[in-house]
Amino acid sequence: MDIETLKARACERIDAQRDALIELSARIHAHPECKFEETRAAGWLAEFLDGAGYAVQRKAFGLPTAVAAHIGTARPRVAILCEYDALPGIGHACGHNVIAAAGAGAACGLADVVGDAGGSALVLGTPAEEGGGGKVIMARAGAFTDVDAAMMVHPAGMELASMGVLAVTSVEVEYRGRASHAAAAPERGVNALDGLITAYNAIAQLRQHIRASERIHGIITDGGQAPNVVPERAVGVFYVRAATEKRLRELKRRVDRCFEAGALASGAEMSQRTLGEDYSDMLTNPVLAAAYRANLERVGRKVVDAKGGRVPVTGSTDMGNVSKIVPSIHPMIAIAPPTVSLHSKEFAEFAKSESGNQGVIDGAKALAMTAIDVLCQPDLRDAMRAAFEAELADGEA
């Protein structure tokens, strides 16, 4: 059977499931669950995939809210990734309900054609993208073994074939001093908050002298309990981001010296610990991205060409770690105007709107057709693999 017929069949199946996919997206949106707590969302995704004909494993790869589902086991094998965690306080302001439903839709379309296309399809429900690193944990447990390509689609304010992704580490820094009466005996105290504030100010100065692609930002989570008591404990959380893992390590060493400066200046003891998993930068596979772009145009959307060939930097994702294991793409599909920022209450509204629903359907079709390209075209797979190996070799520049 020719590839065009397979793509048409997949899209017809997705259209037939439109109401169910939109209902899945709406249900996840209406019941936001934060990282590693996505019990309902994971269950709803698993139920949908079971109904679509997949062999479904719940609590996959040691994570209670992860899902793995497959049709067939033969190579080539394409993985469709679904995210569904929300953000504290503002729900689905990153639109992960759209990601989950679009992935489910792509899975539905593939279920109808994978037997004729050859190979197999794997669908992974990946929890805790917002800071928990679910994909990193799943990768260590073998989730991407024998996978030839991995893909997902993320809602945004514009159509992009690739997402600008920074490597990131999250660190909690703690200063321990000595409490004392701030008025009666300040000389007996060691002010832990002074240590943290000194470090914060040192980081603010450092930010003037880092690359344009680098970011450092943080908050104080504990600054003491009463103003008339010298704070004996102060805690902050900081994100450090850079264009590559190598540059991230270099920048983190500079940030560490800021933390140490706070301890030296205040006399407080300083300790730090990494929170969650470090996220890598993203190696967008150009062959896969070109196939996605062509398929997106088939559903009436057009990818925005970034000015000067530079993809806008939009944040960090554990999909970056996946891209270092298997050829991957993480395109962005427009469900809101370009002026609406991710991680905002306004974007959360778009994630449940008609434009969000259309993003589910169009994203599902573009992913399914791109997966069919991988399954049916050996030359594309060879080019994809060659580009992946070249990217790995150059990725730490």
pLDDT band at 163 (very low <50, low <70, confident <90, very high): confident
Q: What whole-number distance in Å separates Cα of residue 50 and Cα of residue 255? A: 47
Q: What whole-number distance in Å separates Cα of residue 99 and Cα of residue 329? A: 13
Average pLDDT over residues 203-225: 96
Report the run of H or E that residue 294 belongs to, with start and end: helix 286-298
Count of C-beta atoms within a 10 Å radius of residue 50: 13
pLDDT band at 357 (very low <50, low <70, confident <90, very high): very high
- Residues of the chain with pLDDT > 90, as a percent, come to 93
| pLDDT at position 139 | 98
What does 213-252 look like in DSSP terms, one character per residue? T-EEEEEEEE--S-TTB--SEEEEEEEEEESSHHHHHHHH
| pLDDT at position 306 | 67
Which tokens belong to 177? 């001093």
pLDDT band at 395 (very low <50, low <70, confident <90, very high): low
Average pLDDT over residues 14-18: 98
pLDDT band at 225 (very low <50, low <70, confident <90, very high): very high
Q: By C-alpha distance, which of 214, 300, 308 is closest to 11?
A: 300
State the number of CA atoms in the 13 A half-sphere of 223 facing the CB.
Answer: 9
Q: What whole-number distance in Å separates Cα of residue 182 and Cα of residue 188? A: 9
pLDDT at 131 over 70: yes
Q: Name 122's bridge partners.
A: 70, 79
Domains of the chain: 3-165+281-394 (3.40.630.10), 167-274 (3.30.70.360)
Average pLDDT over residues 274-278: 95
What does the pLDDT look like over 53-103, one tens digit per residue? 999 999 999 999 999 999 998 999 999 999 999 999 999 999 999 999 999
| pLDDT at position 304 | 85
| pLDDT at position 396 | 57
Q: Which residue has the tokens 């359907």?
A: 361
pLDDT band at 311 (very low <50, low <70, confident <90, very high): low
Please tell me the total number of residues recorded for the chain in this structure. Answer: 397
Per the CB < 8 A criterion, the answer to whether 122 and 68 are in contact is yes
| pLDDT at position 308 | 55
